Amino acid sequence: MSTDEKLSLWRRALLLIGIETGPRRGWRAHIRPRFFLLLLGIVALGFVGLVGFAAYSTSPSFCKSCHIMQPYYDAWATSKHSMVPCVDCHYPASTPRTLLWKKFQAMSQVAKYVTRTYSSKPFAEVDDSSCLRKGCHSTRLLQGRVVSAKGVLFDHRPHLEGVRYGRQLRCVSCHSQIAIGRHIEVAWDTCYLCHLKDRTSGRKIEPLGGCQGCHLLPDREIKVQNVTYNHKEFLAQHPVACESCHQDVVQGTGEVTQDRCFTCHNEPKKLERIGDIQFLHQNHVTKHNTACFHCHRELRHVVTAAGTKKLNYDCTLCHTDMHDLQREFYRGVGAKGVPPMPSPMYLSNVDCVGCHLEKKQTEVDVGEATTYVGNEKGCVDCHGQAYLGILPETQKLVDETAAKLEAKLEELKKATATATDPALSREANDAVHDATFNLRFIIKSRGVHNIYYAAQILRATDASLTGVAEKLKAKVDDLSELPVISGAFCATMCHGKVGVKVPAETVKFRGKDMPHKQHIDDGQACNVCHTFGVHKDVKLKPIAVCKQCHEDMQEDPEPEKVEDK
């Protein structure tokens, strides 16, 4: 095709749209009215198309064009809001500027979808103003207490107006979609979380607002086998707590674990604020309408009909604190007038199951019960065969010492009864009271759970009784040389069995060899020179104690430890 022919084709094409060209015009273009009409038609058509697309983009059908939105669309289509377009809720009733910003955000989501940079689980916020706008739920706050379809009492006003218990709730705090198929419906799990979290303890259930703050008493009669029961009639005569019959109605704790934070956050500074409860609720619930169970684990509230569920029969609901004495003794606390002294095993995180290994069958009325008791296997498994026999010997020493102290206590009681000085009588009675408590504490909690604490208690009790007896001028037995009170039990019961020389011939003291064994052979009790703390923490008493026998010794600023040579 020649050049002239090609130019001729171009001229004819331009002429169709109203632009005339040719040599007779000197290669100048002449625009006919047709061109302006055509241009106006294109602009009009573009405008109509733009308006049409804008209208279509606000329709639910446009939302479901993204495959990730299909489950949400299906939930909306079967919900009570199926006649309300998505944008009526997801765009707040506010200024044009806000609407334009929301539109921009929506377009950015479309861009993410086209570029395949979207999340498979989208998150959208619904502002309270969308719910409470005119024509929707504008009168909801004025309705007062209403009864839901589940028969639950509820009042919107106190939940939405102002901060309550440090929480500013939003409409979607309760009306949310935390599961596919439930679109902006009441999330009862959220109600349970607020009203029941940290409000269940043992046999007590103390929900926020009380049980009848939410529940109406059933007015229908309930038949259980051949008994007809009416809540209203019964409770009008008998003030019985709901949990007496409705047990195991709270399941789960609703705690927040840090792994939930990783779903949205990966910045250490944000993760460090997991303990700032007020900040977390302000930023997640109040500002961004985050559903509670994006962060909290599930907490359920289920009441089953009588006879349809097997109860757990949790004995601890009635038999509470059965082993508190043993736990406290193991931790080294609870005795009167004695500083705390945890067992070394407690400090090493040895739990009860580490020593209670022997299965014991106990006959009951019909059948047998099983429990686990402590035995020497626990000692030997950890410490070796050298510790065989230490467990019964320890308990025997503690029991014998406690028995002798009880006899000493009885003698002091007699002397106290005859005291004439009121102040001295009060002091003696206080000592008797504390000694009685401490001895019962040791016997009931079993001294083997913490032999060091037991020795400390027995030593302090003996010193207290002796001091009061001297003031009363009463004659009581001197028990200071008993192994548990004097501290010699360490050497005589344990050290010899595990290879520690008992007693050491000499020890280093002030740079010299001190004849340690000679002091023992001369009848000196260990606690004459030493104070006993925790395991391997034996200190010398002040040098003044030594000067009672060795007058030429000089004072030292502080007591020093003794080391075996």
pLDDT digits (tens, 9 = 90+) for 82-133: 888 888 888 777 666 666 766 676 777 777 777 776 666 666 778 888 888 8
Eight-class DSSP state of 166: T
Residue 40 in domain:
yes
Mean pLDDT across the stretch 452-463? 91
Helix (H) or strand (E) holding 547: helix 543-547
Mean pLDDT across 470-479:
87
Residues 148 and 295 reside in one and the same domain:
yes
**What does DSSP assign to residue 93?**
S
pLDDT at 442: 92
Among 94, 123, 152, identify where a domain stops: 123
Q: Is 546 left (phi over 0), alpha (psi -120 to 50) or beta?
A: alpha
What does the pLDDT read at residue 203?
73
Same domain, 42 and 191: no
Q: Is the pLDDT of residue 310 over 70?
A: no
Tell me, yes or no, whether 463 lies in a domain: yes
Tell whether 319 is covered by a domain: no
Is the pLDDT confidence value at 502 over 70?
A: no
CA atoms within 13 A on the CB side of 305: 6
Same domain? For 109 and 38 the reply is no
Report the mean per-residue pLDDT for the chain: 80
560 with 507, same domain? yes
CB 531 within 8 A of CB 508: no
Residue 530 lies in a domain: yes
Q: What is the pLDDT of residues 351-391, one digit of tens each?
A: 888 888 888 887 766 667 788 888 888 888 888 888 888 88
Q: With 50 as the cut, is the pLDDT of residue 565 above it? A: no
Cα–Cα dist 246/187, whole Å: 23
Q: What total number of domains does the chain contain?
A: 5
Say if residue 428 is in the same domain as residue 523. Answer: yes
How many Å apart are CA 62 and CA 75, to the nearest integer?
A: 15
Domain end call among 37, 55, 73: 55
If 0-12 CB within 10 Å is exposed, 13-18 middle and 19+ buried, where does residue 538 land?
middle
Residue at 325 is within a domain: no
Least confident of 153-157, 287-291, 390-394, 521-525: 521-525
Q: Are 65 and 75 found together in one domain?
A: yes
* Contacting residues for 515 by C-beta, under 8 A, at least 6 apart: 505, 506
State CA 95 to chain mean position distance: 44
Same domain flag for 33 and 62: no
Let me know if residue 266 belongs to a domain.
Answer: yes
Same domain, residue pair 178 and 97: no
Q: How far apart are CA 72 and CA 124, in angstroms?
A: 11
Q: Residue 14 belongs to what domain range?
A: 3-55
Answer yes or no: is 324 within a domain: no
Per-residue model confidence (pLDDT) at position 434: 94
Which has the closest alpha carbon to 140: 126, 130, 150? 130
Residue 519 lies inside a defined structural domain of this protein: yes
Residues 31 and 111 occupy one common structural domain: no
Q: CB neighbours (10 Å) of residue 382?
A: 13
Q: Position 134: which residue type?
A: K
Residue closest to 243 by CA, chosen among 208, 207, 219: 207
**Is the same domain home to 105 and 154?**
no
Extract the tokens encoding 459.
């030593």
Q: What are phi and psi of 47, to 5 degrees?
A: -65, -45
Alpha helices, H only, 299-389: 324-331, 344-347, 376-383
Instruction: Please give the backbone phi and psi of residue 205, each rounded to the nearest 5 degrees, phi first.
Output: -125, 115
Which residues fall within 8 angstroms of residue 10, CB to CB, at 6 or more apart?
Answer: 21
Q: Is the pLDDT of residue 27 over 60?
A: no
Lowest-confidence segment of 103-107, 256-260, 404-408 by average pLDDT: 103-107
CB-CB contact of 412 with 464 (8 Å): no
Which residues are 164's β-sheet partners?
A: 167
Domain shared by 467 and 507, yes or no: yes
Q: Give the pLDDT band (50/70/90) at residue 400.
A: very high
Sequence-distant (6+) residues with CB within 8 A of 264 are 294
Question: Which of 20, 37, 55 is the endpoint of a domain?
Answer: 55
- Predicted confidence at residue 436, as pLDDT, reads 94
Has residue 159 got a pLDDT over 90?
no
Is 60 exceeded by the pLDDT of residue 560?
no
Band of residue 512 on the pLDDT scale cut at 50, 70, 90: confident
Q: Is the pLDDT of residue 350 over 90?
A: no
Q: Is residue 413 domain-shared with residue 525, that is, in the same domain?
A: yes
Question: Which range (295-299, 436-440, 525-529) has the least confidence?
Answer: 525-529
- For residue 561, pLDDT over 60 is answered with no
pLDDT at residue 564, as a whole number: 47
pLDDT band of residue 433 (cuts 50, 70, 90) is: very high
